Amino acid sequence: MKFSGVRLLASTVALLGAASLLTACAPDVPMEAAPDANNPACADVIVRLPDTVAGQDRRFTNAQATGAWGDDAAVQLSCGIEAGGPTTDECVNVNGVDWVIDDSAKPIYRFEAYGRSPGLVVFVDSAQVSGTEVAVDLSAVVQELPQERRCTSLADTWDVPENAEG
């Protein structure tokens, strides 16, 4: 009788331990790999992704060359996209990285690391986190990608005298 009681106790402890492990694990964030996700430069970025971005903890994803942060995946990163070309969208430089910002799907903002190859994009849910904080937290790792172009302003592309009259 003692033997079966010990087995029952051991089985119960094992089941409780397994159940606590299962409840502690959140499911992976479902994402799709970009066309050039297997580019070695993306691997250089992904292995350096920070544990937190804009105060959000990193989550596991189910796709190569991706990253996500926050319980509701408030920040999602994908490396290996086709790099965008010239655009009229706003471009800002944050710690040496040019980011093109597309706000057409507010409150979800699309931040593309402009002029980097392979391309990298970050989607930010501005209802949960600050896009500025995200850009600051990710700029160091994005610098791992080779930069081929930089953002310019219209003043950089036109030969306009500084004291020109309107």
Residue 119 lies in a domain: yes
**Assigned token pair, 55:** 């105060």
Residue 26 lies in a domain: no
**Count: domains in the chain:** 1
56-59 β-sheet, strand order: 52-53, 56-59, 66-69, 75-81, 119-125, 108-113, 97-105, 90-94
Q: Which domain holds residue 80?
A: 40-153
Residue 164 lies in a domain: no
Residue 107 lies in a domain: yes
Reading the chain (166 residues) residue by residue, the pLDDT tens digits are 444 443 433 333 343 343 333 334 568 999 999 999 999 999 999 999 999 999 999 999 999 999 999 989 999 999 999 998 888 889 999 999 999 999 999 999 999 999 999 999 999 999 999 999 999 999 999 999 999 998 876 444 344 445 544 4
